[in-house]
């Protein structure tokens, strides 16, 4: 089940239009506070350089929620419900940023404001609003599995706890981005090609393995030259994963496309076949 209501509700034009009304109490029941993290259990003797680099990369990656909210609210200016969800999503992403930042301070280091502020600029819109949503489905699913995988090997208990909390949030975020993509495609079915293209580009790129979409947009910012970025988070993910967790990521992405399209999609060739059967997105680059 993709959401508490499945995708039937997303595609039902007569269903409750304010899906965020249902998301809000669900998120409240699953939410956590910074005070829920056992900060007193922090073990400085178990802090390793790779954990510090990971936390710095997580701070940088999660700080993108501000830029993403800006972009979402502008691109979906005619969609109050999705905008309301974005506000709920952004709060939780900011909490991840602050939790990792607090852990860094316990470890005796921090991320400079100049680097965080460099992430503030909004992203360019996707080829279609549905493509923007698809990019975020990929981001949330990859990050959910990344935190889950790395939390299993992190020996310092506090950072492991933060990762587990964040992982659960990312899984819930992915479900709702899938919901809103399915709903968007009901009104704009011609945007399906852009969703398939977005998934295909990510899954087919050999350099995309253990890479977050954020790094493709903001990896070359001059303020970040020589500084740890979100790439460090996924580099460590690739180092500790035996391949099985990444296999789960790709399986979930293929399953999500199958759910969104109603087609059996389990491999790249299935995406190519689906693309051949759907009209190209009007105005998309050829």
Rounded distance between C-alpha atoms, residue 117 and residue 97, angstroms: 13
Cβ atoms 210, 246 nearer than 8 A: yes
Instruction: List pLDDT tens digits, range 249-272.
Output: 999 999 999 999 999 999 999 999
Instruction: State which of 112-116, 125-129, 188-192 shows the largest mean pLDDT.
Output: 188-192
Position 64 confidence tier, pLDDT thresholds 50, 70, 90: confident
Instruction: List pLDDT tens digits, range 2-51.
Output: 444 468 889 988 888 899 998 999 898 998 999 999 999 999 999 999 99
What is the predicted pLDDT for the residue at 285?
A: 46
What is the predicted pLDDT for the residue at 119?
A: 80
Instruction: List pLDDT tens digits, range 186-210.
Output: 999 999 999 999 999 999 987 767 7
In this prediction, residues 209-230 reach a mean pLDDT of 62
What is the predicted pLDDT for the residue at 120?
A: 81
Backbone angles phi, psi at 155, to 5 degrees: -85, -25
- For the chain, give the percent of residues with pLDDT over 90: 70
Q: Would you kindly state where each structural domain of the chain is located, as residue ranges?
A: 38-277
Backbone angles phi, psi at 108, to 5 degrees: 85, 20
The CATH number corresponding to 38-277 among 2.60.40.3080, 3.30.750.24, 1.20.1260.10, 3.40.50.300 equals 1.20.1260.10
Cβ atoms 56, 232 nearer than 8 A: yes
What is the predicted pLDDT for the residue at 272?
A: 96
Among 98-107, 144-153, 156-165, 207-216, the range scoring the smallest mean pLDDT is 207-216
In this prediction, residues 75-82 reach a mean pLDDT of 95
Position 230 confidence tier, pLDDT thresholds 50, 70, 90: confident
Rounded distance between C-alpha atoms, residue 27 and residue 152, angstroms: 24
């Amino acid at each position: 089940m993709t959401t508490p209501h499945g995708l039937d509700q997303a595609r039902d034009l007569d269903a409750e239009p304010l899906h965020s009304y249902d998301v809000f109490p669900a998120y409240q029941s699953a939410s956590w506070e910074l005070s829920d993290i056992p900060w007193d259990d922090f073990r400085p003797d178990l802090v390793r350089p790779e954990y510090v680099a990971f936390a710095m990369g997580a701070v940088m990656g999660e700080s993108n929620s501000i830029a993403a909210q800006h972009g979402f609210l502008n691109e979906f200016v005619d969609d109050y419900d999705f905008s309301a969800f974005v506000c709920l999503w952004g709060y939780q992403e900011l909490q991840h940023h602050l939790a990792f930042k607090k852990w860094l301070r316990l470890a005796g280091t921090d991320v400079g404001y100049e680097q965080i502020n460099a992430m503030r600029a909004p992203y360019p819109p996707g080829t279609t609003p549905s493509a923007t949503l698809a990019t975020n489905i990929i981001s949330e699913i990859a990050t959910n599995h990344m935190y889950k995988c790395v939390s299993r090997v992190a020996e310092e208990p506090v950072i492991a706890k933060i990762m587990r909390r964040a992982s659960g949030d990312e899984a819930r975020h992915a479900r709702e981005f899938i919901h809103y993509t399915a709903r968007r495609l009901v009104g704009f079915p011609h945007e399906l090609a852009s969703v398939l293209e977005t998934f295909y580009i990510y899954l087919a790129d050999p350099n995309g393995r253990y890479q977050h979409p954020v790094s493709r947009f903001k990896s070359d910012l001059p303020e970040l030259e020589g500084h740890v970025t979100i790439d460090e988070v996924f580099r460590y993910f690739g180092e500790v994963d035996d391949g099985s967790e990444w296999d789960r990521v790709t399986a979930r992405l293929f399953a999500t496309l199958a759910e969104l399209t109603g087609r059996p999609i389990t491999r790249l060739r299935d995406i190519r076949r689906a693309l051949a059967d759907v009209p190209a997105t009007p105005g998309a680059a050829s």
